[in-house]
Chain A
Amino acid sequence: MTDTAIDVPTPVLAEPRTRVSATLSDDAQLIAACRRGEARAMEMLYHQFKRRVFGMAHRIVGPNDAEEVAQEVFVRVFRGLAAFRGDSALSTWIYRLTVNASLSHLARRGRRQEVGDETLADVPAAPEVSRDPGLAARIERALVELPPGYRAILVLHDVEGLSHEECAAILECRVGTCKSQLHKARARMRELLGPIGGPPQ
């Protein structure tokens, strides 16, 4: 997206810094420092959220466009922090931006992400928790086949481990809607995956 822009070296700027160095221990301080344009705070915020933002974007839009979407999200975060009023938690707001940017990216592209060899090669080996060693790759492949809305709820709840309340706040829907969407999304995934052969109960 910005490959051409990268070639131009960014001039080093003197950065604003408060006289008393903030501890940046909580969201409010981090947000305030970012609003003042403190590079250290902005980088901290980036590192705090980069994995989840990139991971969500990766699993919703696919590997080819994930970086572009994640960059767009962070630019929106830093540009929008001045207007962030703290109605929701900072994380909820950032994840909402991520999901919305990913879904609009898919809508713009107007096509489902194709899964090729390149995609599967990008998937790191799953940790040894599953009985089926190929399950992670199969799940990633099935995720891409899901409708984007189902993908979003599965990524938020099951992959990222967020609660139904957090998912509802991110997706701006009711908790009940969130639960029923998750149920449908899992049912669709099971259809796509076929028998998984989970542990006997």
Chain B
Amino acid sequence: MTCDDVRPQLTAYLDGELEGDRGSAVRGHLRGCAACRTASNDEAALRDGLRALPTLDAPSGMWAKIQTQLADAEIADSEKPRWRRVLARWSPQHWVTPRLALASGALAVIFCVSAWRYTHRDHELPQTALVLPQLPTLPAPATNNGDVATEIAALPKTTSDSYAAAADELVKLATESRASWSDSQQKQFDAKVAELQHDIATADEGRPRQRAYRTLIRYLQRAATRDEVAFADTRGTP
């Protein structure tokens, strides 16, 4: 055992934490090494000197001062509004563990319910904010008696129909608020709607037509909510 091995263990050795072989190995080295023996004696003297430092007594007036501070704090507390006292009682030591557990549990439940609802959700139509109540309902899957092919074939048609209904509804809404617009706004709006409706009429059945409907619906939504961007945007919707 070398000095480099012994020195890091001196503290533990002097505190009686090395048992059996480990203690006797250090002791054996100390018997033969004067430098380590000096270091060991110095540390032991330091340890004993620290332990022998006199006990310091608190100043005699300290208790009175503490009582005064506590009294002042109680007076300050009593002057606080009730809600602040209630909040103060909710210190982290009080509530963090049980309430954290409760909150985690609640979050877990919410997550599970959301996940379940997501995986079991009905097939929903693409929705726009303004047309939710007016959307025609799709035939329930059960009525197709499990004929998936028929159902899939019917989807583009029903989707286009629902878009058409939404667009009609929005045109009505926009027309109602149209009167309050300036002449140039009205003209611009009419031209844009006519252009987009023309796009729909000329688009191919299926996805291209649905895309054209969506463009019209978006434009009408913005017009109906009097979004000024819509009027300024001569290029149509993105």
Residues of chain A touching chain B, judged by Cβ–Cβ distance below 8 Å, are 1-2, 5-6, 8, 10, 43, 46, 50-51, 53-55, 58-59, 66-67, 70-71, 74-75, 78-79, 82-85, 123-127, 129-132, 135-136, 139-140, 154, 158-159, 161, 179, 182-183, 186, 189-190, 193, 195-201
Contact = CB atoms under 8 A, between A and B. Distances in A.
A53 to B, nearest CB: 7
A189 B54 contact: no
User: Which label, helix, strand, loop or mixed, suits the secondary structure of the B interface?
Assistant: helix
B71 A190 contact: no
Interface string B60-92: 011111111111110000000000000001010
A50 B62 contact: yes
A198 B51 contact: no
Nearest to A58: B56
Nearest to B92: A83
B58 A54 contact: yes
Given A129-B48, A136-B49, A136-B52, A67 B62 contact: yes
Interface of B: 8, 10-12, 17, 30, 37-59, 61-73, 89, 91, 93-94
A186 B53 contact: no
B22 to A, nearest CB: 14
A6 B62 contact: no
Nearest to B73: A79
A201 B30 contact: yes
Contacts of B59: 54, 67
Contacts of A6: 61, 64-65, 68
Closest 3 A/B residue pairs (Cβ): A198-B45, A158-B50, A198-B41
Contacts of B64: 6
Contacts of A131: 45
Contacts of B37: 200-201
B70 A199 contact: no
B74 to A, nearest CB: 9
Nearest to B89: A82
B64 to A, nearest CB: 7
B54 A198 contact: no
Nearest to B10: A183
B54 A125 contact: yes
Given A6-B68, A189-B46, A158 B54 contact: no
Nearest to B69: A75
Nearest to B42: A196
Contact of B11 (A46, A84, A179): A179
Given A43-B63, A71-B69, 20 more contacts: A5-B68, A6-B68, A10-B71, A51-B57, A67-B58, A82-B89, A85-B93, A124-B56, A125-B54, A126-B53, A135-B49, A136-B49, A139-B46, A139-B49, A140-B53, A159-B50, A183-B11, A190-B42, A198-B43, A201-B37
B51 A124 contact: no
A83 B93 contact: yes
Contacts of B46: 139, 158, 186, 189-190, 193, 196, 198
B93 A139 contact: no
Given A136-B54, A183-B11, A195-B42, A71 B65 contact: yes
A54 B38 CA distance: 34
B68 A70 contact: no
28 contacts: A2-B65, A2-B72, A5-B69, A6-B61, A50-B57, A54-B57, A54-B59, A55-B56, A66-B56, A67-B59, A71-B69, A75-B66, A78-B66, A82-B89, A83-B93, A124-B56, A129-B52, A136-B52, A139-B50, A140-B53, A158-B47, A158-B51, A186-B11, A193-B42, A196-B45, A198-B41, A198-B45, A199-B44
A149 to B, nearest CB: 16
